[in-house]
Amino acid sequence: VLQGLQYLHDQGVVHRDIKGANILMTTKEGLIKLADFGVAAKLGELEDRRDDLQQHVVGTPYWMAPEVIEMTQVTPASDIWSVGCLIVELRTGSPPYYDLQPM
């Protein structure tokens, strides 16, 4: 997963929706692949579309970095945060903050 993200980030792309459902494993080779690039964007495009992005939160809440929730700046670090949330989910069986009440 991290190697795939490193490749994306080296290309200037932020996935913006890293979660278990978007990580696939091939049956034959056992390779891990990232899926669902529907909300992925190039960093330059994110800057150009900042006004549009201020209107819409993009991603899946339990795995979103704080800056994504606050609709500030999305960077490759946002994807790394999501990987951390995924690790918590793998270790505990639930994503972080799963049992918090909505605000």
50-84 pLDDT per residue, tens? 555 456 777 888 899 988 888 888 899 999 999 99
* Any domain includes 41: yes
Report the domain count for the chain: 1
What is the pLDDT, as a whole number, of residue 13? 96
What is the pLDDT, as a whole number, of residue 9? 97
Q: Which residue in the list 10, 17, 36, 79 is annotated as catalytic?
A: 17
The reply to whether 17 belongs to the active site is yes
* Any domain includes 88: yes
Residue 26 near residue 34, CB atoms below 8 Å: no
Closest among 50, 60, 46, 55 to 13, alpha carbons compared: 46
List CB contacts of 68: < 8 A, sequence separation 6 or more.
Answer: 16, 57, 58, 59, 74, 78
Distance CA 18, CA 84 (A): 10
What is the pLDDT, as a whole number, of residue 51? 52
Higher pLDDT, 69 or 15: 15
Q: What average pLDDT does range 7-22 have in this prediction? A: 95
CATH number of the CATH domain containing 77 = 1.10.510.10
Owning domain of residue 9? 2-92
